[in-house]
Amino acid sequence: MTADTAVPVYWLNWRVLLCGIWISFAMVIASYLIWKYEGSNSSRPDRVRVETQHGDSGALYEDEGWRPCLKDLHPAWLMAFRVIGFVVLLALLVANVVVDGGGIFYFYTQWTFTLVTIYFGLGSVLSVNGCYEYRNRVGGDHVELDAERGNYVAPRHAENVSGSNTMKSSVLHEHQSDRKPAGILVYAFQIIFQMSAGAVMLTDAVFWFIIVPFLTIKDYKLNFLLVSMHSINAVFLLADAALNSLQFPWFRFAYFILWTAIYVVFQWVIHACISLWWPYPFLDLSSSYAPLWYLAVGLMHIPCYGVFVLILRMKHFLWSKWFPESYHIEK
């Protein structure tokens, strides 16, 4: 039988104090990283080009929210994928609410699944707008090219090659200089991407490697929704990561930490007001091992986030090798 969580004696002890120290320390460090790195990017958009040339990938351009990482891939393909992903994830989330009720949002899994759904919804909006801009840009380039051809005089072969290279270089330079710094929606999109990456790895790892073995021992049968909630979101997110142009700066790991910390604080507030069962056994503060559980789960954030970083590095390596002319992750 679980302990009564709505009485003072449950909270006034060394276990809660130590767990509170873990959580507070993590939130303070995460907030400091966001203030130090994110604050400078958002408060001074004119620094985008300077910062990125010096290797700070925290700054963003507007088209990074909708531009595929392969030049030969039309943005409409990424848009279509994101729309499909949003529809599928939203349908699964709605089905989960219909079958199990609104109480599903008591779990970290549904928090994360909702976050990924929001990511694909916002990504769909950015991609639709990006495709519109892309069409106008390409159409404008064709008009300018036709106008230039009206006064075109054929040069000699050597001059033609030199002129062609110069024109390409000029166009690329002009395109680079014309790129707009990202607005608030693209920054929010980037942040949700990195929060989702770590949270999805964490929820799926805990579910498949910790919870499922215990459920198997008790002959608990997994249903379609339960399996989908711990797999489909990861599949769609990894596929989007393989196609998009988003960066993965290390300091936004802080948002992932805050995301989990906010969930834990949410659980603490609820249990302090109402005596309820804990959604995950390792959150129960009545156990003398609670501080170790909290510390262990907190440390799990590092490898879970690191796995996604390794996946993206593998993407860069493979795409650069297989599509050297088409692949680009430049600022």
Q: Tell me the per-residue pLDDT of 260-291, one tens digit each, with 9 for 90 and over.
A: 999 999 999 999 999 999 998 889 999 999 99
Q: Decide: 252 and 191 in contact? Cβ < 8 Å.
A: yes
143 pLDDT above the threshold of 70: no
Q: Decide: 202 and 301 in contact? Cβ < 8 Å.
A: yes
Q: In this structure, is the dihedral angle defined by the CA atoms of residues 90, 96, 101 and 104, taken in order, positive or negative?
A: negative
What digits encode the pLDDT tens for the residues 171-186? 444 455 567 887 899 9
Q: Decide: 208 and 230 in contact? Cβ < 8 Å.
A: yes
pLDDT bucket at 217, cuts 50 / 70 / 90:
low
Instruction: Give Cβ neighbours of residue 259 (< 8 Å, ≥ 6 apart).
Output: 111, 115, 195, 198, 199
Helices (H), 5-74: 8-11, 14-33, 39-43, 48-53
Q: Decide: 107 and 283 in contact? Cβ < 8 Å.
A: no
What digits encode the pLDDT tens for the residues 224-258? 898 999 999 999 999 999 999 998 999 999 999 99
Closest-CA residue to 130 (of 192, 193, 67): 67
What digits encode the pLDDT tens for the residues 66-100? 999 999 899 999 999 999 999 999 999 999 999 99
What digits encode the pLDDT tens for the residues 45-70? 444 444 444 344 567 888 899 999 99
Task: Share the mean pLDDT of the chain.
Answer: 83
Amino acid 33: pLDDT: 94
The predicted model scores a pTM of 0.84
Per domain, the residue ranges of the chain are: 8-149+186-322
Amino acid 170: pLDDT: 41
Amino acid 59: pLDDT: 77
Q: Phi, psi (5° rounding) for residue 54?
A: -100, 10
Instruction: Give Cβ neighbours of residue 22 (< 8 Å, ≥ 6 apart).
Output: 291, 294, 295, 298
pLDDT bucket at 146, cuts 50 / 70 / 90:
very low
126 pLDDT above the threshold of 70: yes
